[in-house]
């Protein structure tokens, strides 16, 4: 049972435009959410996180939005740059889970 | 910065071989994790460990075992390598089981 879902395997965006990556979860007890970015042949690196007590968190070009009623979070990248091209994983934790639960990832391609 | 080091970037092994993947972290983290990443399947947890000599199965432990004799080192063992274990293997460590994972650069294992 996939508790964290990223339904778009890939996304292509023009440089300078907004990239929106989506993530849905099923466990209402999750209370902490993270986004990781992964380049080929490297390990994932932490990008941004949000606690369930917030609905938005910003860090430079990256903003994460959380909609608890819809069990949905999204990552916005504005403006997108070619160096943002990578696989993005969302992850969640909380409740009875004793580890991070990762989604399947979305491959973002930012076209110059 | 926390550093997680995986001993090999690329490995090629034969079917039936016993394979050891080593991971070392330098920040005194209690928690360590082994994941594998496959296209379309995201990051799947194989095993994790809360402390020395402690281990817990993740989502896909079959065909694998682990060893944690020292706090800084967490080894993944493929008892008898098979071609379906060809994958990218990622080690991570953290202070908390729910956030703050730092990943190594990964080991690309090919079983022939």
Q: Which residue of A has its CA nearest to B46?
A: A99
Over residues B51-105, the pLDDT tens digits come to: 898 899 999 999 999 999 999 999 999 999 999 999 999 999 998 777 779 999 9
Average pLDDT over residues A5-26: 96
Q: What is the DSSP letter of B9?
A: S
Looking at the predicted structure, is the pLDDT value of residue A1 above 70? Answer: no
The overall average pLDDT reported for chain A is 94
DSSP assignment string, chain A = --SEE---SEEEEETTS-EEEEEEE--TT--EEEEEEE-TTS--EEEEEEETT-SEEEETTEEEEEETTTTEEEEEESS--GGG-EEEEEEEE-TT--S-EE---EEEEEE-
Looking at the predicted structure, is the pLDDT value of residue B11 above 70? Answer: yes
Across the interface, which of A34, A43, A89 has its CB nearest the CB of B104? Answer: A43
R_g of chain B, CA atoms, integer Å = 13
Q: What are phi and psi of A84, to 5 degrees?
A: -80, -10
Average pLDDT over residues B44-50: 94
Inform me whether the C-beta atom of residue A73 falls under 8 Å from chain B C-beta atoms: no
Over residues A25-77, the pLDDT tens digits come to: 999 999 999 999 999 888 999 999 999 999 999 999 999 999 999 999 999 99
Inform me whether the C-beta atom of residue B106 falls under 8 Å from chain A C-beta atoms: yes
Other C-beta atoms closer than 10 Å to the C-beta of B8 total 14
Q: How far is CA A25 from its chain centroid? A: 12
> What length does chain A have?
112
Average pLDDT over residues A71-87: 97
Answer whether A34 sits within 8 Å of B99, measured CB to CB.
Answer: yes
Contact B57, B50 (CB under 8 A): no
User: What SS3 class is residue B85?
Assistant: helix
Please list every residue in chain A whose beta carbon sits closer than 8 Å to the beta carbon of residue B109.
Answer: none
Average pLDDT over residues A6-12: 95
Average pLDDT over residues A91-112: 88
Contact B73, B53 (CB under 8 A): no
């Amino acid at each position: 049972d996939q508790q964290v879902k990223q339904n778009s395997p890939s996304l292509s965006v023009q440089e300078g435009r907004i990239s929106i990556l989506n993530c849905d979860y099923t466990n209402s007890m999750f209370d902490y959410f993270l986004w990781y970015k992964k380049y080929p042949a490297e390990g994932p690196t932490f990008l941004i996180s949000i606690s369930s007590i917030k609905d938005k968190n910003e860090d430079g070009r990256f903003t994460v939005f959380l909609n608890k009623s819809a069990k949905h979070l999204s990552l916005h990248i504005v403006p997108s740059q070619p160096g943002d091209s990578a696989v993005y994983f969302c992850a969640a934790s909380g409740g009875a889970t004793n580890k991070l639960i990762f989604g399947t990832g979305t491959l973002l391609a930012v076209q110059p | 910065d926390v550093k997680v080091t995986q001993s090999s970037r690329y490995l090629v092994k034969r079917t039936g071989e016993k394979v050891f993947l080593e991971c070392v972290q330098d920040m005194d983290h209690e928690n360590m994790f082994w994941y594998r990443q496959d296209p379309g399947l995201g990051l799947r947890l194989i095993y994790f460990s809360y402390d020395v000599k402690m281990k817990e199965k993740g989502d896909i432990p079959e065909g694998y075992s682990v060893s944690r004799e020292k706090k800084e080192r967490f080894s993944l063992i493929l008892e008898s390598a098979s071609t379906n274990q060809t994958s990218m293997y990622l080690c991570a460590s953290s202070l908390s089981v729910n956030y703050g994972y730092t990943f190594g650069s990964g080991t690309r294992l090919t079983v022939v």
